[in-house]
């Protein structure tokens, strides 16, 4: 039986916030934030993860606001929420809400959609380097070798990051944090100069490069940190990826959709580009997906953002979105219910 956690259940005079599905690792961090809603709203959280939309719809039937995390809301479910319930505010547990909710439809239905910002800058930046270091030092394979009794010196030769050139595509919060870590490693850092405020370059010390092809061609490591929106969807093209030199490391901890559909798989299929990927066109990734069988590629299941520090900041912002909504104020509003 699913555990249900409720706050102030007797306060039926207060609006109801429902979290119908939750990742196990988020349960305790978000519980710690619920006291901020005392006398503002009551909360009902179902302590299991499900993406079954019939179950989700049933659980939120009497809600005034919805907390969403880890699953997609289809257009059908969004229509149900907008037309058959009292829900006028959806708080998404993350930044890339456009990948999970049809924002144009939410706007039409006059449902406020909020997200969280910069909560995972350090978490994702650190995961970027976890992937990078795995590619250059293969610690996972070496660990397995040693435990199997194989003390193979030849298998331990790696690449050094110090002195290598890192090209960052997307010098926002995460990209800037990556630049800082890269500097500490002794790397030379450049970034694509596309819609990036000058102060980001000044703060990070990254060298601006106007042409994306030039950035890619001149880098030993290319790391993608663009947000996903209408302007960035497919912005990294197959033609851009053709400028990757053999041996260049390619990292994506942003969104797969910022790369032209099919372009990355085609480029990696040549077998000369080591890559570390945390995001994919289809998630969860199936074992028979072609990307799983490309040699020299390290894959992780979209976990770059999942750290204790990120959960703490994420849940704080989620609750602040709700307190602002019920107070008639704006906080991290992506789509306004006011049109």
pLDDT band for 304, please (50, 70, 90 cuts).
very high
What's the pLDDT score for residue 339? 72
What's the pLDDT score for residue 254? 96
pLDDT band for 240, please (50, 70, 90 cuts).
very high
From first CA to last CA, the distance across the chain in angstroms is 40
pLDDT band for 155, please (50, 70, 90 cuts).
low
What's the pLDDT score for residue 319? 98
CA 57 vs CA 21, 77, 81, 90, 280: distances in Å: 11, 7, 8, 13, 27
What's the pLDDT score for residue 84? 84
Mean pLDDT, range 154-167, rounded to an integer: 90
Tens digits of residue pLDDT in 122-135: 999 999 999 999 99
What's the pLDDT score for residue 40? 98
> Using omega within 30 degrees of 0 as the cis cutoff, is the peptide bond preceding 48 cis?
no
Full-model pTM = 0.89
What's the pLDDT score for residue 154? 59
pLDDT band for 156, please (50, 70, 90 cuts).
confident
Going by DSSP bridges, is the β-strand pair 333-335/112-114 parallel, antiparallel, or unpaired? antiparallel
What's the pLDDT score for residue 215? 98
Q: How far apart are CA 182 and CA 236, in angstroms?
A: 22
- Least confident interval from 155-164, 216-225, 255-264, 272-281: 155-164
Q: Out of 44, 122, 267, 302, which one is annotated catalytic?
A: 302
Q: How far apart are CA 256 and CA 228, in angstroms?
A: 9
Q: Is 28 a catalytic residue?
A: no
The answer to whether the beta carbons of residues 225 and 196 sit under 8 Å apart is no
The answer to whether the beta carbons of residues 232 and 175 sit under 8 Å apart is no
Tens digits of residue pLDDT in 209-236: 999 999 999 999 999 999 988 899 999 9
Q: How far apart are CA 170 and CA 208, in angstroms?
A: 11
Secondary structure (3-state) at 202:
helix
Q: Is 207 a catalytic residue?
A: no
Q: Out of 195, 283, 293, 329, which one is annotated catalytic?
A: 283
* Phi and psi torsions of 166, nearest 5°: -105, 125
Inform me whether the pLDDT recorded for 87 exceeds 90. yes
Which alpha helices (H) appear in 157-282, and where do they start and end?
Answer: 173-185, 198-204, 212-217, 238-241, 263-268
Mean pLDDT of the chain: 95
Mean pLDDT, range 2-24, rounded to an integer: 96
Beta bridge partners of 189: 166
Domain architecture of the chain: domains with CATH? 4-119+308-335 (3.40.50.720), 121-299 (3.40.50.720)
Inform me whether the pLDDT recorded for 107 exceeds 90. yes
Between 58 and 70, whose confidence is greater? 58
* 3-state class percentages of the chain: helix first, strand second, coil last, to nearest 5: 40, 15, 45
CA 45 vs CA 49, 62, 305, 315: distances in Å: 11, 13, 22, 13
Q: Is 282 a catalytic residue?
A: no
Judged on CB neighbours under 10 Å (0-12, 13-18, 19+), 10 is exposed
Q: Out of 164, 255, 267, 313, which one is annotated catalytic?
A: 255
């Amino acid at each position: 039986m699913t555990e249900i956690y409720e706050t102030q259940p007797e306060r039926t005079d207060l609006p109801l916030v429902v979290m119908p599905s939750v990742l196990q690792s988020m349960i305790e961090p978000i519980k710690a934030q619920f006291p901020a809603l005392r006398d503002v709203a009551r909360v009902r959280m179902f302590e299991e993860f499900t993406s079954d939309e019939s179950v989700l719809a049933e659980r939120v039937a009497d809600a005034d606001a919805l907390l969403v995390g880890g699953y997609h809301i289809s257009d059908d479910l969004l229509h149900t929420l907008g037309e058959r319930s009292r829900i006028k505010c959806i708080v998404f547990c993350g930044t890339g809400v456009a990948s999970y909710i049809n924002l144009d439809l939410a706007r039409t239905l006059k449902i406020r959609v909020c997200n969280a910002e910069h909560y995972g800058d350090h978490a994702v930046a650190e995961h970027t380097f976890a992937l990078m270091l795995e590619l250059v030092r293969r610690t996972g394979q070496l660990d397995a070798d040693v435990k199997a009794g194989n003390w193979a010196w030849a298998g331990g030769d790696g690449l050094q990051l110090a002195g290598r050139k890192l090209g960052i595509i997307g010098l926002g919060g995460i990209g800037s944090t990556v630049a800082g870590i890269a500097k500490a490693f002794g790397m030379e850092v450049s970034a694509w100069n596309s819609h990036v405020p000058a102060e980001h370059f000044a703060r990070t010390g990254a060298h601006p490069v106007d042409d994306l092809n030039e950035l890619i061609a001149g880098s030993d490591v290319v790391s993608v940190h663009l947000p996903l929106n209408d302007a960035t969807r497919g912005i990294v093209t197959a033609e851009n990826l053709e400028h990757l030199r053999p041996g260049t490391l390619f990292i994506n901890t942003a969104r797969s959709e910022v790369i032209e559909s099919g372009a990355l798989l085609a480029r990696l299929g040549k077998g000369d580009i080591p890559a570390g990927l945390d995001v994919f066109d289809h998630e969860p990734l199936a074992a028979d997906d072609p990307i799983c069988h490309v040699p020299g590629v390290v894959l992780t299941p979209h976990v770059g953002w999942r750290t204790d520090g990120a959960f703490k900041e994420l849940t704080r912002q989620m609750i602040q979105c709700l307190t602002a909504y019920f107070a008639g104020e704006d906080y991290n509003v992506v789509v306004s219910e006011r049109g």
